[in-house]
Every structure is written in structure tokens, then in C-alpha cells.
Structure 1
Amino acid sequence: MRREQTSRQSRELILRAAAELFAEKGYRQTTFADVAERSGISRGSIPWHFGGKEGLLVAVLEHSVQELLQPPGGLPRADADGVEQVLEEAERFLRLPLSRLFVTLLIEAVEPDSPIHDRYVAIQDGMRARIQTWAEGLPLAEGVTPRGLAVTVLGATIGIHQQWRLTPDRIDLDEAFATLRTMLVGALIAS
């Protein structure tokens, strides 16, 4: 029992260290030696737990994705007040430490032969599906579809986050979200 608990703790320390390093340096630039140093766990333990570097990457993503796809509370209200809830979720995502990991690894995921390509597709499918399900209950203006709105909200959120991470001194998150809020409210039919 004690050995199993120690193994779980080691695995958790390795996952946390790898997530931080992948977010800081990217997947390709991170080595097992880096993860071992950051986690305080021997380098030889990493492949024992995860197989190889790709296994570690996949485990980091799977460990982190639940927080993204399971935000607190149910679906937002299907009205203008719900727009505020959706934007709060988007902003919450931006401020999560793990969001930096997802944006950093996005470059890796774009490559079709990437070990995380399919997982990123699934993550974004899940996020769009959540937004689309919410949007299906909204009175949308002509030409605005729930699916199109979901793509736009997710794209805007990822784009805002990317710009903010690159130049935090030039991007005002409050201003960006106020603009996105105005755009979303404009997509609704006035009741």
C-alpha cells in the first residue's frame, strides 16, 4: 500500500513538473533531465511511469484536460446574462496556469503526425460543443448559427490568450473581453 502511494505521488510530481516545463519551454525543448530536476524524482522513474516522452506528453494532457472540459456549474443561461457567464468561463480559462500549457503545445498539435494532434482535436471539439449547446438556446440574429458562434468564441479566446502571452504589457484582457462581450450581445436578437 505504501509503495503504491509513493508511486502515485511520484507520478503526480512528474506530471506537474512536465506540465510546467512544457508550458515554459515547449515539448521538444524539454528533456527527461529537466523533468527529473524540477520534480525531484529520478530520471529513470519517468520512463517507468510513462514509457517515453510521448507517453509523458499524453499523460500531461489527459491529466489537465478535465479541468478545461468540466468547468464549474452547468451550462450558462440562454440569454444576454448567459453571455456574461460564457465570457467568465473563457476568462477563467485564460487565467488558469494550465492554459499556458495548452497554448504552448498548440504549435506542436498542429502537425498532423504529432502525438497530441488527435487529443487537441478532441479538446477543441469538446469546448466548441459546450459553447454550441449553450448557443442553441439563444435567440440568434440572422446569419449567426450556434456552430459558427462556438467557433468564433473559441477562436477569439485562443487568439486573445496567445496575444496576451506574447505581449502581456500590450494586451488589456478587460478591454478585449469587453469588446468580445459587445460582439456576442450583438449576435443576439433583441428581446
Structure 2
Amino acid sequence: MTTRREQTSNESRELILNAAAELFAEKGYRQTTFHDVAARSGISRGSIPWHFGGKEGLLLAVLERSVARVRDGLADAPGAGEPDFGPFDQGVGAMFALPTTKLFVTLLVEALEPGSPIRDRYVEIHDTLRDHCRRWLERLPLPPGLPVEPLAVALIGAGIGIHQQWLVAPERVDAAEALAALRALVAAVLPPAHD
């Protein structure tokens, strides 16, 4: 049985994680301070290191929770093995609409730095996305000579690139249109379905 104190601690932790995720996505990791997180979350500044040890611990906790949410959001839709685009629309397309996507794109620069504490989390995120895409592609009648793994890498790379361009210049890039074009390209390489 959870005590009231444990419940309050868990609620505070969630408020801090939510605020930090929003701020990291908006401002980046380096520009976000404990003061910012405390002001956004409504939780005292001193509670943050108590829960997470330090700023790096907070960042890792935000990413850990975000990776779990990506996995939950990418649960495969049931399919009958037909070349159905439901999984593309619900999975490959939808993964770029997840609230965590902006966070992942914003923090990518941090992950690329030598010795970055979040590099392994990014490897895990990309592995999760590629695995989901690969499972969907394996159910499709792909043409001979078009290997699943490189195609999954290309689709995930295209989706991330679309999202990055949209974040930088949303007035110039229509992410929904670009994802629809990506979907049309995938459809073009599939042989016609037989009844």
C-alpha cells in the first residue's frame, strides 16, 4: 500500500519530469535551469536534486520515460498480413506526431557530443523506431532485392528529417504533407495487391 508521502513524492516527480520534458524540448538541455523547472512544475527547486541527483539525472529520467512512452505508442496494430497502410499511418507516420518527438529532435545535438550521457538512450530510441518499422515492412510484399533493414533505416531517417525541418521552419514545411509524400513513395514500390 502506497503511503500519502510516497504518493506526494511520486506526484512531485511526475510534475518535475513533465516540466523538464517541455522545457528541454523548448529551450534545449543546456539553456534549461532548475529554476525554470521549478517555476514550470510548481515544485521547489530543492526537490529536483532530491529526486534526480542533478541535472544530468533529470535529463536521463526524462529520456527514460520518453523511450517507454514511444514503445507504448508504437504498439503494433492488429493486421491480417495484407499490404495495409494502417500500421504506417498508426505507427511509422504517427510516431512523428508523438509529444516526445520534439524533445528527441531538440536533444539530438546533445546526444552527438563526445561522451554524451544520452547517446545510449538515442541508440535505444532509434533501435525502437527501426524495430517497429521493420516489423511493419516484413508484413508487406516488398519487391525482390529491397532489403527490409536498410528500408527501415531510410524511412526513420526521412521521418526524423521531415520533423527537424518542420521544427526549424514550420511556416515553410508542412509535416503532414511531407509524411503523406513519404507514404506515397512507399506505396509506389509495393507490387499491386492481389485478391
State the TM-score, normalized to the length of structure 2.
0.89
| Displacement of 1:89 | 2.4
Matching residue of 1:133 = 135
Q: 5 Å matches for 1:27-38?
A: 27-38=29-40
Matching residue of 1:57 = 59
Are residues 1:80 and 2:93 paired? no
Give, in whole Å, the separation in 1 of the partners of 2:18 and 2:176: 29
Which letter does structure 2 place at the counterpart of 1:120?
A: Y
Residues 80 and 185, structure 1, Cα contact 8 Å, conserved in 2: no
Matching residue of 1:174 = 176
Matching residue of 2:167 = 165
RMSD between aligned alpha carbons? Answer: 1.7
Which letter does structure 2 place at the counterpart of 1:80?
A: P
| Displacement of 1:188 | 1.7
Give, in whole Å, the separation in 2 of the partners of 1:45 and 1:71: 30
Matching residue of 1:25 = 27
| Displacement of 1:162 | 0.7
Moved more, 72-81 or 50-59: 72-81
Deviations for 1:25-52, whole angstroms, at most 9, x for unmatched residues?
1011111111111111111111110011
Matching residue of 2:99 = 97
| Displacement of 1:75 | 4.5
Matching residue of 1:16 = 18
Deviations for 1:42-85, whole angstroms, at most 9, x for unmatched residues?
1111111001111100100111222212226525644432x343
Give, in whole Å, the separation in 2 of the partners of 1:154 and 1:163: 14
Alpha-carbon spacing, 1:102–1:72, altered in 2? closer, same or farther (3 Å): closer
Residues 109 and 117, structure 1, Cα contact 8 Å, conserved in 2: yes
State the TM-score, normalized to the length of structure 1.
0.91
| Displacement of 1:130 | 1.4
Give, in whole Å, the separation in 2 of the partners of 1:129 and 1:112: 26
Matching residue of 1:190 = 192
Structure 2: gaps (5+ residues): none
- Aligned counterpart in structure 2 of residue 106 of structure 1, from 91, 105, 108: 108
Structure 1: gaps (5+ residues): none
